[in-house]
């Protein structure tokens, strides 16, 4: 005895399977090793879709040369009353489990894109956004300075690699890379 499945159900199932197969193929292409000859032309065809939906993956964290520095981006926000405040963009070690899931891509965008000298077009909007976060303060924002901070990650000891790490010798370096002053509003006192 065979069970007849309505056409609409079969059609939905076929569309669902096609949707899954399409995404598996796109992600497969995106995650091909950089050394694979066809990776670049294939990835260029799907890049707008992958990046637009936030499906991109970056495996350079693991291989062949993982990062040897921790990177942080922040801002020093100065107010009209002479005070200032340090704003840190989201850091995973300071967030709860669900908050980490929600903000990881944002953190990655800041640390991997905003901080780079090749992306100055991102600095003004980022500084203005940070100023907007402080708009409820009684004293208005007068200056936002974006800063990079970084320090070396100590290499694991050669002997007893499992679990034995050299004591953390954190020599933090800081570099201010952009200053932004909010535009004066018409009629605002000088």
Residue-level pLDDT at 51: 78
For 149, the token pair is: 């901070």
Residues 91 and 150 in one domain: yes
List the Cα angle 69/127/54 in 5-degree steps: 65
Mean pLDDT per 10-residue segment, the chain (190 residues) = 70 91 90 81 87 72 70 92 92 84 82 87 93 92 93 64 53 83 61
Residue-level pLDDT at 49: 87
- Its domain, for residue 43, covers 7-53
Contact criterion met (CB below 8 Å) for 153 and 70: yes
Residues 142 and 173 in one domain: yes
Residue-level pLDDT at 133: 93
Residue-level pLDDT at 55: 77
Residue-level pLDDT at 134: 93
Residues 155 and 102 in one domain: yes
Residues 46 and 133 in one domain: no
Residues 32 and 121 in one domain: no
Contact criterion met (CB below 8 Å) for 90 and 51: no
Residue-level pLDDT at 156: 62
Residue-level pLDDT at 187: 45
């Amino acid at each position: 005895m065979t069970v007849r499945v309505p056409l609409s159900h079969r059609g939905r199932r076929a569309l669902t399977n096609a949707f899954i197969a399409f995404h598996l193929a796109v992600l497969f292409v995106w995650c091909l090793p950089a050394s694979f000859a066809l990776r670049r032309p294939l990835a260029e065809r799907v890049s707008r879709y992958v990046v637009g939906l936030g499906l991109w993956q970056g495996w350079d964290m693991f291989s062949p040369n993982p990062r040897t520095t921790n990177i942080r981006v922040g801002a020093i926000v100065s107010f009209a009353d002479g005070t200032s405040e340090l704003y840190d963009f989201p850091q995973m070690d300071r967030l709860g489990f669900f908050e980490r899931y929600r903000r990881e891509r944002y953190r990655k965008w800041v640390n991997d894109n905003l901080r780079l000298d090749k992306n100055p077009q991102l600095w003004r909007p980022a500084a203005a956004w940070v100023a907007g976060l402080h708009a409820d303060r009684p004293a208005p924002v007068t200056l936002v300075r974006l800063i990079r901070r970084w320090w070396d990650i100590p290499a694991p000891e050669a002997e007893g690699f499992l679990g034995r790490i050299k004591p953390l010798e954190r020599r933090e370096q800081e570099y201010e890379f952009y200053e932004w002053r909010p535009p004066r509003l018409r009629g605002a006192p000088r």
